[in-house]
Chains A and B, each alone.
Chain A
Amino acid sequence: MIRHLGKSLISAAIGCAMTLSPAVANGKTLNIYNWSDYIAEDTIANFEKETGIKVRYDVFDSNEVLEAKLLSGKSGYDIVVPSSDFMAKQIKAGVFKQLDKTKLSEWKNLDAELMALLETYDEGNKHSIPYLWGTTGIGYNPDLVNKYLGEEAPVDSWDLVFDEKYISKLNKCGVAFLNAPSEIMPAALRYLGLDPNSVNKGDYKKAEELLMKVRPHVTYFHSSRYISDLANGDICVAIGWSGDVLQASDRANEADNGVVVEYTIPKEGAGMWFDMLAIPKDAENIDEAYAFLNYLLKPEVIAEISNYVAYASPNKSSVALVDEEIRENPGIYPTEEAKKNLYVFAVLPPKVDRIINRSFTKVTTGQ
């Protein structure tokens, strides 16, 4: 609760916070800006103990917030974690430093196949290291969904949220959508059988029409509130990020409140994303940043983070160290069958971005 509160305070107080660069004390410091609920409880404490570096750790809940901070020029952070498609544009805008791989002794642990795939976003993997990856699917409360839809609820399909027939009934128990055009629009396109990375204005018009039909039944658009709301049974369905939904499930288990939360990768296919570690150009604590990157590249460290946040790690050597429960969970490490249906987010031209965002604004505001 407190953790969630803290994170939401930050998302609410955007723009007010942290415009001043952090005071550098006598000792070594490191400023990290990462997604909310996206690291194991003791990772930072252990790193501080091991290295003597004092870490200031702040969180955000959307790529858009991070991007605004990076583009304003002086973020004050030494390590940030954008998603791959956002990062690709930020690299072009000259936001990040090139990594000196000779300082990254643990680079060898990364999955070579995945690194090749990531070259679409960062040629030669010059600026970034993948942190974790996951999918954007549906989190739901089977008991509540059952109560309002009965047994035949299509929980394995985007129908659950994109078909008026179902979502109009789910409205009673609450439906949350991510407040992220870059996630929701591709899902809607895929549901309609169109290219999720379309550059065609007409396709977005169709996606907008679909979303306008379901929007009256959406309880809210928000990118982090759904975790605690799912865990408390305040909402019954959310379009959300795999690990966040699984965290909601864990929290409900811990609270022992009788709430069950499940995650599904819809059969029509879902978006697959990578969150990347990068160093902004204006970072001040470079050596400390490399120390932290090397620390995260250690198989045992990232395996523990995977266990805690329920996202898959791109670190090949770590997979064996991850709990079986996580490793075998098809919501975290998708089956080969499900993998075929996953799509990645392409880097779209600014004009298309504007169309997507305007459509999405229309959806979220009804105007």
Chain B
Amino acid sequence: MEVLNTQQGSSFSEGLKRLLPGRKFLIATPYLWLLLFFLVPFAIVLKISFSEMIMAIPPYSSLVELVDETLSISINLGNYLFLAEDDMYIKAYFSSIQIAFNATLLCLLLGYPMAYAMARAPQHMQTTLLLLILLPSWTSFLIRIYAWMGILKNNGLINNLLMALGIIDDPIIMMNTNFAVYVGIVYAYLPFMVLPLYANLVKHDHSLLEASADLGARPWKTFLSVTLPLSKSGVIAGSMLVFIPAVGEFVIPELLGGPDTLMIGKVLWQEFFNNRDWPVASALAMVMLLLLIIPMALFHHYQSKELESSHDH
């Protein structure tokens, strides 16, 4: 928009600028983006969640009907009540949150040392290390999950190796278990943890560490009382980037998980496809969205607070 403005005749563009300052356009862009790709789909899902299932195209009733010049609006709350009636849904939410939480913790435990080592590596190596973190993402996500199926299955790499070495006689069952789901999530989302952590850690002032050492703190103590608190926002950003997509993950539990892996993504799939019940599936999605918005709002709140406090310094 701004580019367009500068190319116009000067008097016109100045007049326009006074009327519609380009800066506002720039600021409006992300809002427009959100409106189109978040709010509109959100409204559609919300609408479907209040309708009733029917066997037709589309497979749900319309909320607004005009019959004999009478406009009738019917809002069906039954889908939400249905979710409350059946404790499977609650269990699926909690189980998803638990799996995502554990996976996030594992990512943090693995990712922090990696990011720390990267940030402390010699300058010329850092780009290479960053590239190495990103390199696997050049292969399709699905192909990489399939590769894990080949590694973990009964007849796969690990079991065949262990059996060839005579360590085990029967294959260890790893595929189609929660273990495989954790492997998949941690593997797939680790870069999302490492990158924000690295971006944070690389900015740290080394003289602070020297000061801490001069004051007699051991390295471990320095880490706990200097590095870790300073990297808090990196930890939170990384954790959010892992946790939020992991809660709704469908592909990994579908391909690596077994019957005991209860995740909301799979339940949603079943509602949508097996039951053909788009309204209940939509209600399920709405509740999940709310559950995800809460941690996001907390994160946002925390970040803006931190920004304020850093301005105060």
Binding site for B on A (CB under 8 A): 5, 8-9, 12-14, 62, 64-65, 67-68, 70-73, 89, 92-95, 172-174, 181, 215-216, 218-221, 229, 232-235, 350, 353-354, 357-358, 360-362, 364-367
A207 to chain B, nearest CB (A): 16
Please classify the interface of chain A as helix (H, G, I), strand (E, B), loop, or mixed, using the class held by over half of its residues.
Answer: helix
The CA of A9 and the CA of B145, in the complex, are separated in Å by: 11
Is there contact, CB below 8 Å, between A219 and B276?
no
Quote the shortest CB–CB distance from B172 to chain A (angstroms).
11
Q: With A and B bound together, what is the CA distance between A233 and B175 in angstroms?
A: 14
CB pair A12 B142 closer than 8 Å: yes
- Determine if B155 and A234 form an interchain contact, defined as CB atoms under 8 angstroms apart: yes
Given A71-B55, A366-B259: 5 more A-B contacts, CB < 8 Å: A5-B143, A13-B142, A13-B251, A64-B276, A216-B259
Q: B258–A219 contact, CB under 8 A?
A: yes
Closest-CB distance, B162 to chain A (whole angstroms) = 15
Q: What is the size, in residues, of chain B's interface with A at 8 Å between Cβ atoms?
A: 38
Which residue of chain A lies nearest to B262 when distances are taken between CB atoms in the complex?
A365
Chain A min CB distance to B117 (Å) = 34
Give the chain B neighbours of A233 by CB distance below 8 A: 155
Partner of A68, one of B143, B154, B258, B272: B272
Q: Are A12 and B251 in contact (CB under 8 A)?
A: yes
B255 touches A12 (CB 8 A): yes
Please indicate the chain B residues that have their CB under 8 angstroms from the CB of A216 in the complex.
259
Check if B88 is an interface residue, CB within 8 A of chain A. yes
Known A12-B142, A220-B176, A234-B155; contact A361-B274, beta-carbon cutoff 8 A: yes
**Given contacts A71-B57, A233-B155, is CB(A367)–CB(B262) below 8 Å?**
yes
In the complex, A16 Cα to B140 Cα: how many Å? 15
Residue on A nearest B143 in the bound complex, by CB: A5
A174 and B273 form a contact (CB under 8 A): no
**What is the count of residue pairs linking A and B with beta-carbon distances less than 8 angstroms?**
99
Q: Is B88's CB under 8 angstroms from A174's CB?
A: no
Contact indicator A62/B273 (Cβ below 8 Å): yes
Interface contact B57-A93, CB-CB below 8 Å: yes
Nearest-CB residue, chain B, relative to A232: B155
CA distance A362 to B267 in the complex (A): 10
A132 to chain B, nearest CB (A): 23
Bound Cα distance from A221 to B254, whole angstroms? 9
Q: Are B154 and A174 in contact (CB under 8 A)?
A: yes
Q: How far is the CA of A14 from the CA of B142 in the complex (A)?
A: 13
Decide yes or no: A220 and B259 within 8 Å by CB, A9-B142, A357-B275 being known contacts: yes
Give Cα A89 to B56, complex, Å: 9
Q: For residue B266, which residues in chain A have a CB less than 8 angstroms away from its CB?
A: 365
Indicate the member of B58, B142, B175, B275 with the most A CB atoms within 10 Å. B275
CA distance A218 to B266 in the complex (A): 17
Can you report 16 A-B residue pairs in the complex whose CB atoms are below 8 A from each other? Answer: A13-B251, A65-B273, A67-B276, A72-B57, A89-B55, A215-B259, A218-B259, A229-B153, A353-B276, A354-B277, A357-B270, A361-B270, A365-B92, A365-B262, A366-B262, A367-B262
Question: Is there an interface contact between B92 and A367, defined as CB atoms closer than 8 Å?
Answer: yes
A219→B57 contact, CB < 8 A: no
B88 adjacent to A365 (CB under 8 Å) = yes
Considering the complex of A and B, which 10 residue pairs feature the smallest CB-CB distances, nearest first?
Answer: A64-B273, A367-B88, A71-B59, A357-B275, A220-B176, A234-B155, A93-B55, A73-B57, A357-B274, A93-B56
Tell me if B120 counts as interface (CB < 8 A to partner A).
Answer: no
Docked Cα-Cα span, A151 to B297, in Å, equals 62
Q: Which residue of B lies closest to A233 (CB)?
A: B155
Contact flags (1/0) for B25-40 with A, using CB distance below 8 Å?
0000000000000000
Instruction: Determine whether B205 belongs to the interface, using a CB cutoff of 8 Å to chain A.
Output: no
Residue B42 lies at the interface, judged by CB distance under 8 Å to chain A? no
Q: What's the minimum C-beta distance from A68 to chain B, rounded to whole angstroms?
A: 5
Chain A residues near B262: list those with CB within 8 A: 365-367
Contact, CB under 8 Å: A172 / B170: yes
Residues from chain B with Cβ under 8 Å of A172 in the complex: 170, 173
Closest to B250 in A: A12
Interchain CB contact under 8 A, A362 and B254:
no
Q: Which residues of B contact A94 (CB under 8 A)?
A: 56-57
Contact residues in B for A218 (Cβ distance below 8 Å)? 259
